[in-house]
Amino acid sequence: MFKEKKLVDKIPKSPGLRTKILRDLYKDEKVVLEFLDFYHLLRDLSRADFRRRKEFRRHVTMTALLQNGEMEINIDIITEYYKKSKIFLKLVEKIIEADNKGDMNELLSSSVAEVDFEEGKL
């Protein structure tokens, strides 16, 4: 999409460089910037060393050892992150479908509603 519109010359292979380009292109869109921060958090969590606690109970917890401190992840948090990831993917689909012309808050609201509907909450 961005390459075809000549907004970028080359799409880098590195996810870090890709997000840098997206930050530059969407610097005025708070919603997109928040999701890019969330993406970096997920990448950091997936690469972090971790400890386990209460492995065989409902309150199973992973303590991720990040550069800026420890972060505890439990079932409730990971479920929230899963839903947020689904919303992000829906939002990206809508941005592409709208050819980058829609209001970001409206696209986000629509994405949240779709995910809630899929989960049977509407």
Q: Using one digit for the tens of pLDDT, what is the confidence trace for 85-100?
A: 999 999 888 888 877 6
**Quick check: helix, strand or coil at residue 113?**
helix
In this structure, are residues 31 and 39 in contact, taking their beta carbons and an 8 Å threshold? no
The structure's pTM equals 0.80
**Dist CA 17 CA 8 (whole Å):** 12
The pLDDT value recorded for residue 110 is 87
Report residue 109's pLDDT band, with 50, 70 and 90 as the boundaries: confident
* Residues present in the chain in total: 122
In this structure, are residues 38 and 88 in contact, taking their beta carbons and an 8 Å threshold? yes
Q: Which residues touch 46 (CB under 8 Å, ≥6 apart)?
A: none
**Quick check: helix, strand or coil at residue 110?**
helix
Give the percent of the chain with pLDDT over 90: 41
Residue with token string 């929230």: 80
| C-alpha 93 chain-centroid distance | 13
Residue ranges per structural domain of the chain: 15-118
Task: Tell me what the mean pLDDT of segment 34-58 comes to.
Answer: 89
Structure tokens at 29: 């869109």
Q: ∠14-84-122 over CA atoms, to 5°?
A: 145
The pLDDT value recorded for residue 11 is 82
DSSP code for 92 = H
Beta-bridge mates of residue 69 = 66
